């Protein structure tokens, strides 16, 4: 009988210890699960941040690439437009001497060049040397008395040049020089236009 009570007491003690161990195990499992949940949440948050950074970088890289492609295409379009437009103008300029109003055009170019020369050197400066094509000598002779000299240059197809006596200043006003200035201005204008179109 005493043995039976002793066995019962031992069984109760063992059951109590098992229950305590079970409670400790349950608590440890809950703590581990909480730690795992926190770790997973932190890792997920970090992964989402990395993913967002990667997506942002991808978007920036894609935008840079597209911007480079647009700029490249803009330069191609500019070249095409300028080449076509100024090819047409150059063909027209080659025939300028044959026009009936060429003497008036030459005189206008002379007046522009002289104004530019005086603007650079002043009204009281020594008169410039007038260079022009041999075929335009009759036009240059009208101004010979006001110039420091007249020189005929076969390299000039049309128009004229004014050169200071010290050779440091040269004003060129020919169809070729005007086309070049116009080309530069036109290129700048269409560049600004295309850039505005890209932004909008």
How many angstroms separate the Cα of 153 from the Cα of each of 1, 38, 143, 156? 143, 90, 17, 6
Superfamily for domain range 100-199:
ATP synthase, E subunit, C-terminal (3.30.2320.30)
Q: What is the pLDDT of residues 73-89, one digit of tens each?
A: 777 777 787 777 767 76
Whole-number Å distance between alpha carbons of 197 and 155? 42
Q: Please, which pLDDT band fits residue 186 given cuts at 50, 70 and 90?
A: confident
Contacts of 146 by beta carbon, 8 Å cutoff, 6+ apart: 127
Q: Which residues pair with 131 in a beta bridge?
A: 151, 161
Q: Are strands 149-152 and 160-163 parallel, antiparallel or unpaired?
A: unpaired
Length of the chain, in residues:
200
Q: What is the pLDDT of residues 50-76, one digit of tens each?
A: 888 888 888 888 888 888 887 777 777
Q: What is the pLDDT of residues 3-45, one digit of tens each?
A: 667 667 777 777 778 778 788 877 878 888 888 788 878 888 8
Q: Pull the structure tokens for residue 121.
A: 């050197």
Question: What average pLDDT does range 173-195 have in this prediction?
Answer: 78
Q: What is the pLDDT of residues 104-150, one digit of tens each?
A: 999 999 999 999 999 988 877 899 999 999 999 999 999 999 999 99
């Amino acid at each position: 009988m005493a043995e039976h009570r002793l066995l019962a007491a031992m069984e109760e003690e063992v059951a109590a210890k098992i229950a305590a161990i079970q409670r400790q195990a349950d608590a440890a499992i809950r703590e581990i699960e909480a730690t795992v949940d926190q770790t997973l949440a932190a890792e997920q948050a970090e992964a989402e941040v990395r993913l967002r950074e990667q997506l942002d970088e991808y978007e920036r890289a894609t935008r840079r690439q597209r911007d480079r492609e647009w700029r490249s295409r803009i330069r191609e379009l500019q070249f095409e437009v300028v080449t076509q437009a100024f090819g047409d103008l150059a063909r027209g300029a080659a025939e300028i001497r044959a026009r009936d109003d060429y003497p008036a055009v030459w005189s206008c170019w002379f007046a522009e060049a002289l104004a530019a020369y005086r603007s650079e050197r002043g009204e009281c400066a020594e008169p410039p040397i007038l260079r022009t094509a041999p075929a335009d000598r009759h036009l240059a002779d009208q101004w010979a008395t006001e110039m420091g000299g007249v020189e005929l240059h076969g390299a000039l197809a049309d128009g004229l040049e004014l050169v200071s006596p010290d050779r440091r200043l040269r004003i060129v006003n020919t169809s070729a020089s005007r086309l070049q200035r116009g080309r530069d201005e036109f290129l700048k204008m269409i560049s600004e236009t295309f850039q505005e179109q890209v932004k909008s």
